[in-house]
Each structure stands twice: as structure tokens, then as C-alpha cells.
Amino acid sequence: MTNACDCSIHLDTLPGVAKIVCLDEVDSTQAVARELALEGTAQKTLVLANTQTAGKGRLGREWESSQGGLYMTLLLTPQTDLKFLPDLSVLCGEAVAETVTALYGIKTRIKKPNDVYAFHPRKKKWLKLAGILTESASINKAPNWLLLGMGINLNNHVTLPTAVSVKAIKGSGVSREEFLQEFFRLFWLRYAAWEYSSQARS
């Protein structure tokens, strides 16, 4: 099912993350995070995996999850109404896109509700770089927990003609830790603003 691995990502380098669960091979980080949520694990737990054997995207579509990509699920307990939860897919996608552009100078765009595309300058086309998947459980019409899953093509070899990795565009590998540091720096700013705004609109 899941195998623990030595994690090069240190908790104190990731702003806002309370706990890291680092795995080698897993069915999906979403499934592991769901189990943790049902066990009552505290929010802001990050589940990371080197590979997924049954990664899923939106509508149950398979997500290619080979070695070198970034596959993770963040467990959250947002203080807001259920009706605002769909906003998180776009918010997360924007944070991913902004991180890719800031670190690597790659042009990105969002395809709502949950995809991030990157422009491949040599192929002169937009290709899928990342996907976001949300899942939630509620009590009395308020979120009990929310899973924010992400699959990001960093250094992995991508076989689908409609997708691309950062490495394929840049021609060299990139640091997973550097990506995570910048992503969470940007994500929590957006998340705090979203949570405050949704509370004000409730």
C-alpha cells in the first residue's frame, strides 16, 4: 500500500505546513490523506509521494505519476461555508502557475476549474503541466475537512502528447524543495485572503 521513504523535504523549510508524511510509492496521496482525515489528523498535514500507482485527476481520469514529478495532498479544515470550496481549485492552480513562472520564467495559464498549462517555446504550444483535485467532508453544511491534491510535472518523463514537464521545457532538472518553498509562500497568502473573504460573504 504505502512505503515510507527518506524525505529530503524538511518541515522547517515549508511555511505553514504542520506535518509531512513522505512516502515512496503509494496508490494516491489523496487516499492516504483521506485516511488521515478520517483518523482526525490535524490540519495542514502534507502527504508527499515519489510515485503513485493509481493517481486520479478530475472526473476519475488517470494521472500519470512517474518518478520525478511532485505528487501531494494537503489536508485542510477551512473555516468557511461549503459553497466557497470550489474556489480552492482555481486558487491553488494560480499559486502553482505563479510559482512556475517566478522560479523558471515559464509562461503559464489556468484552465478552469483545475488545470495549469505551460507554454513550450520550442513546440510553440500550450501543454498541461499540473492538475488539482479537491475532496471534502462536511458536518452541518460546514467543511469538516478538505483534501487539496496536486500533481505537478517537474522532473518526470511525460508520455502524453498533451502534457509537459518543467524539465522538458528548461532542459534540466529543478529542485522539488525550492518549488515547495515558493509554492507554499504564495499559497498561504492566497488561502488566508480567500478564507477571510468567504467568511465575510457568509
Structural domain boundaries in the chain: 11-197
117 near 128, Cβ under 8 Å?
yes
Q: pLDDT tens digits, residue range 126-151?
A: 999 999 999 888 766 656 889 999 99
pLDDT at 59 over 60: no
As given in the structure block, the three cell numbers for residue 86 are 470550489
Superfamily designation of domain 11-197: Bira Bifunctional Protein; Domain 2 (3.30.930.10)
Q: Which of 15, 55, 7, 9 is nearest to 31 (CA)?
A: 55
**89 with 111: CB under 8 angstroms?**
no
Nearest to 132 by CA among 146, 118, 150, 116: 150
Cβ–Cβ under 8 Å, residues 134 and 146: yes
For cell 510553440, what's the residue? 124
Q: Model confidence over 69-122: pLDDT tens digits?
A: 999 999 998 888 778 888 889 999 999 999 999 999 999 999 988 899 999 999
Q: 9-22: per-residue pLDDT in tens? A: 777 888 899 999 99
**Residues present in the chain in total:** 202
The answer to pTM > 0.85 is yes
- Residue 100 phi/psi, 5° resolution? -60, -45
Mean pLDDT of all residues in 153-159: 94
Percent with pLDDT over 90 in the chain: 58
Taking the C-alpha atoms of residue 47 and residue 14, their distance in angstroms, rounded to an integer, is 13
